Amino acid sequence: MNTKQIRRYESNNAMVSSGRKEATDIGIQIFKKGGNAIDAAVAVGFAMGVAEPATSGLGGGGFMTINLPGNSESIFIDFRENAPKSAYPDMWCLDEKGKVIDKANAIGAKSISVPGEVAGLIYVLENYGTMTLEEVMAPTIKLAEEGIVVTAMLENMLGIYGKHLEKCESAKDIYCKDFKEGDLLRNKKIANTLKTIAFEGRDVFYKGKISKEIIKSVQDMGGLLTKEDLEEYEVEVKEPVVGEYRGYTIISSPPPSSGGTHIIQSLNILENFDIGSLEVNSAEYLHMFSEAFKLSYEDRAKFMADTKFIDVPLKGLRSKKYAKVLSKKIDLNTARKPECYDPWNYEHDDTTHYSIGDKEGYLVSVTKTINHFFGSCMVGGNTGILLNDTMADFSTNKYDVNSVDSRKKPLSSMSPTLILKDGKPVAIIGSPGGVRIINVIVQIISKIVDHGMDIQEAIESPRITQNATNTMLYENRISSKVIEDLKAMGHDMNQCLDYDKKMGGVNGIYYTEDGKIIGAADPRRDGVAYGI
């Protein structure tokens, strides 16, 4: 990893920060052609599925948080995958340890949920963009035809998941060719699929020849996806969750994501303490974050699920009065043993996030995924599309609130987030990292707000992560003296790499008071920021 690579970029007009240089460049192309930030966001969305195929794409889904110029309320677009209609709570065969036999919920046809990405990106373009679908997809089609450069991260993931990809002939033909860093990976089938969507639109994916290819391949391998599942998929437009932290407005994701609610809850707890007076990544500092995270994740375990199926006390969880009560459980010197264990730690690390903003006030934060790296490790027939394995995000316990059910959306932590102050843009942030996303975003927000860090400095700063256990994961750049002090306070410590991709891959944008737009990208992954 080249930690010295320049990832921070300043501009005056518009900025794109994404997980791959090719996708960032495509977003900038759209701006230069006269498109707005929505047009760029849709173009980057399609581009990321080609440039970083292991993490997202046409076979997946995600969330988008948008602030429009002059708009008093932000918009949340939910294009998360949902379970097939025939799914049911105890559909999995479990072994004596309660694990799904043959990992059928994570690999292969039964792990596939109804994809939402194509519907989501096209919906956003048609309702808020200015360019045609053909115009925003043209650069991605060219990229797919020419091929992408294999990075060290992609080479590593191909090595790990190749044994699963080779079980599907359509996937094997594309990905099982002993790729090395620097090689070109070409997926001509995805290029043809993208062309078809560009010219024929949404229906060809959900009702036409693409859907037929996907359904046949899934059903031939014993999956549940049907023609009806695809035809009836709908994008949902929702109100984002909104909170306040020390005078800053935090706007983020509602259920089925737990992210926004528990980001706000964690910040509300921390607001009861003078975090700004503590040295960043000191033992006292990390102890406070660890305790706040444990409290939030305990509530996540008890309450969070798709609100169409489960009544979730969202207002209570975001209440500052409730956070005040929780804060009194924190001992400043001793780690508190969790009162429950989070049984929903099923989420992947393998998502992607990008942020786009301009001087006009368009703010777009997008997190999307096919779930684990390479999703189900299945490609849908001749489409070239890697299909998700989002069924793995459900609990395998049929009595849990996040259990599988017909058309239900699994719990997520994806948290595309906007920060405003007095109605003006401050930041656009988000991250991959599965269940750890909440922790990542809270730390970034606090470092910007409480310590005045530059956004790139905040992103590169060492991180911890913690859920409803007593084990704190930490990046190895945190000093050994701090780790020993935390152990003495009662924390169980688990070391990670210096720059560990398990700790996310933030792509963010910051607006300075003098009108500059700063893009920042995370050295833990392949992100690049660029602006005009």
Start-end of H helices in 320-436: 320-327
Query: Residues 289-336: pLDDT tens digits?
Result: 999 999 999 999 899 999 999 999 999 999 999 999 999 999 999 999
> Angle at which helices 209-220 and 188-200 pack, to 10 degrees?
140
Write out the two tokens for 85: 């209609």
Alpha-carbon gap, residue 263 to 296, rounded angstroms: 8
| Cα torsion angle, 380, 383, 389, 391, sign | negative
What's the confidence (pLDDT) of residue 343?
A: 45
65, 351, 396, 417: the catalytic one is 351
Q: Give Cα 21 distance to the centre of its chain.
A: 18
- Residue 325 region by backbone torsions, left for phi larger than 0, else alpha for psi between -120 and 50, else beta: alpha
- Residue 465 region by backbone torsions, left for phi larger than 0, else alpha for psi between -120 and 50, else beta: beta
Alpha-carbon gap, residue 395 to 26, rounded angstroms: 38
Look over the chain and give the mean of its residue pLDDT values, rounded to a whole number.
95
The residues near 515 (Cβ < 8 Å, ≥ 6 apart) are 12, 359
What's the confidence (pLDDT) of residue 347?
A: 44
Does residue 425 have a cis bond before it (omega within 30 degrees)? Answer: no
Alpha-carbon gap, residue 249 to 247, rounded angstroms: 7
Write out the two tokens for 261: 């609610």
Query: Residues 325-358: pLDDT tens digits?
Result: 999 999 999 999 987 654 444 445 579 999 999 9
What's the confidence (pLDDT) of residue 348?
A: 54
351 is catalytic: yes
Alpha-carbon gap, residue 394 to 404, rounded angstroms: 6
| Cα torsion angle, 427, 431, 434, 437, sign | negative
Domains and CATH numbers, the chain: 23-61+80-236+373-393 (no CATH), 238-347+414-531 (3.60.20.40)
pTM of the model: 0.96
What's the confidence (pLDDT) of residue 6?
A: 56
Query: Residues 381-412: pLDDT tens digits?
Result: 999 999 999 999 999 999 999 999 999 999 99
